[in-house]
Structure 1
Amino acid sequence: MFGINDIPKFFLAFFLVLPVISFLHEAGHVFFAWLMGGKNIRVTVGTGDVLFRLGMLEVRQYYFWYGLCSYDNLKRNQRFPNILIFSGGVLFNALSAMAVVYLVEQEMIRPGLLTYQFTYFSLYYIFFALLPMPYPDGSYSDGKYILDLLRNRPIAEHIYRIQWDQEKAQWQVLDHDKTVVEVFQEEDKALARAHELAQANRPSRLLHTRNGQEVEVFNYPRVPL
């Protein structure tokens, strides 16, 4: 039964163990995203205002709650690479938990509160990450994305384009319905605006018409949690 003496254990789990497990989870996503050629990789631990940034790591005010990673422009953006990326979080959680259990069994580290909490909450994290369910904000769990990918269900992508209108002598930014969103006189400004729209509406692809052919210049995949 939970008692007064268990309160410090609760704070230890909530403010130390869970953030470490969350970081390992995001590291798993990041590892496979990097392996698949992802660029602009960033790991966010926590929510709220940014406390500090260190390389690709961003730690926020409420560091003990929530986490995500983001990356752009996968070179291998097909079904199997995405399955690996979305599976990476639970894989790293499982491997780290197994490593702790192994070290305890080999008497290389002593069993205690930290080892117990680490293995327990790693399994907790794995269960809820793999549970195929939607979240209130409209995103999905890793398990939901993996299941959809395994079933080969198409993932709706937004496609944005920039193209030169010869008659009007202007660069046009088109949305996924091929409706003109904005026009520019300079190609760089049109491209920058198209990047903003594509990044804000993941998953998306950015196409550029060159020599009469559409070429993908960037892609913004879904963000694993």
Structure 2
Amino acid sequence: MFGFKDIPQFFLAFFVVLPVISFLHEAGHVFFAWLMGGKNIKVTVGTGKVLFRLGMLEVRKYYFWYGLCSFDNLKRNHRFSKILVFSGGVLFNAASAITVMHLVTEGWVEAGMMTYQFTYFSMYYIFFALLPMPYPDGSYSDGKFILDLLRNRPIAESTFRITWEEEKGQWQVLDHDKTILEAFQEEEDALARAHQLAQSNRPSRLFHTKNGEEVEVFNYPKVPL
């Protein structure tokens, strides 16, 4: 039964153990994103105002709640690589929980409230990450993306292009319907704007069309939670 003496353990779980588990979860996503050639990798722990940044790590005011990782331009941008990236969080949570249980079983670590909370909340994280469901903000759980990828259901991607319009003498930024969004005199300006649009409409791909040849220059995958 939960009593007054358990209150400190309650705060320990939510303000220490859960953030560690959240960090391990994001580390799993990051590992496979890096393995698949992702660039500009960033890990965010918590929500609210940014407290500090250290390399790729960003810690926010409410560090004990929420987390995500972002990355750009997967070199291995295919179905299996995306499954690995979205599975990475639960794989790291499962591996760390199994490691702790093994250490306790072998007597290398003493069983206690910390080990219990770590394994319990790791399972909690795994369950809700794998539960294939949409979130209120319109994003999907890792499990939902994994299930759709396993079923080979296409994930809607926004496509943006930059192309040179010879008659008008301008670089044009186009959407997936090849509708002109904006036009620029300089190629660098058009490319910068196209990057901005693609990044804010994940998942997306950016193509450069020149002399009739279309080449993908960047992709912005969906952000795993």
1:189 partner amino acid: D
Matched, 1:139 2:139: yes
Post-superposition Cα deviations, 1:74-119, rounded to whole Å, max 9, x if no partner, equal: 0001000110110000000000000000001111111111100000
Matched, 1:180 2:183: no
What is the alpha-carbon distance in structure 1 between the residues aligned to residue 136 and residue 55 of structure 2? 31
| 8 Å CA contact retained: 2:173, 2:190 | yes
Post-superposition Cα deviations, 1:108-144, rounded to whole Å, max 9, x if no partner, equal: 1111111000000000000000000000011000000
Aligned position for 1:43: 43
How far off is 1:179 after superposition?
A: 1.1
**Partner of 2:178: helix, strand, or coil?**
coil
RMSD: 0.6
How far off is 1:178 after superposition?
A: 1.3
Uncovered stretches (5+) of structure 2, i.e. residues with no partner:
none
2:3 partner amino acid: G
The equivalences for 1:88-107 within 5 A come to: 88-107=88-107
How far off is 1:3 after superposition?
A: 1.9
**Partner of 1:219: helix, strand, or coil?**
strand
How far off is 1:211 after superposition?
A: 2.6
What is the alpha-carbon distance in structure 1 between the residues aligned to residue 177 and residue 62 of structure 2? 39
What is the alpha-carbon distance in structure 1 between the residues aligned to residue 218 and residue 125 of structure 2? 32
Aligned position for 1:18: 18
Post-superposition Cα deviations, 1:188-211, rounded to whole Å, max 9, x if no partner, equal: 010000000000000000000123
**Partner of 1:114: helix, strand, or coil?**
helix
The equivalences for 1:59-138 within 5 A come to: 59-138=59-138
Identity %: 80
What is the alpha-carbon distance in structure 2 between the residues aligned to residue 56 and residue 211 of structure 1? 38
Post-superposition Cα deviations, 1:47-84, rounded to whole Å, max 9, x if no partner, equal: 01111111110100100000000000000010001101
What is the alpha-carbon distance in structure 2 between the residues aligned to residue 61 and residue 18 of structure 1? 15
What is the alpha-carbon distance in structure 1 between the residues aligned to residue 7 and residue 192 of structure 2? 51
What is the alpha-carbon distance in structure 1 between the residues aligned to residue 168 and residue 136 of structure 2? 44
1:101 partner amino acid: M
Give the aligned length: 225
For normalisation by structure 2, the TM-score amounts to 0.99
**Structure 1 segments (4+ residues) deviating >6 Å:** none
What is the alpha-carbon distance in structure 1 between the residues aligned to residue 35 and residue 211 of structure 2? 32
How far off is 1:177 after superposition?
A: 2.0
How far off is 1:4 after superposition?
A: 1.6
1:77 partner amino acid: N
1:199 partner amino acid: Q
What is the alpha-carbon distance in structure 2 between the residues aligned to residue 41 and residue 219 of structure 1? 13
Aligned position for 2:152: 152
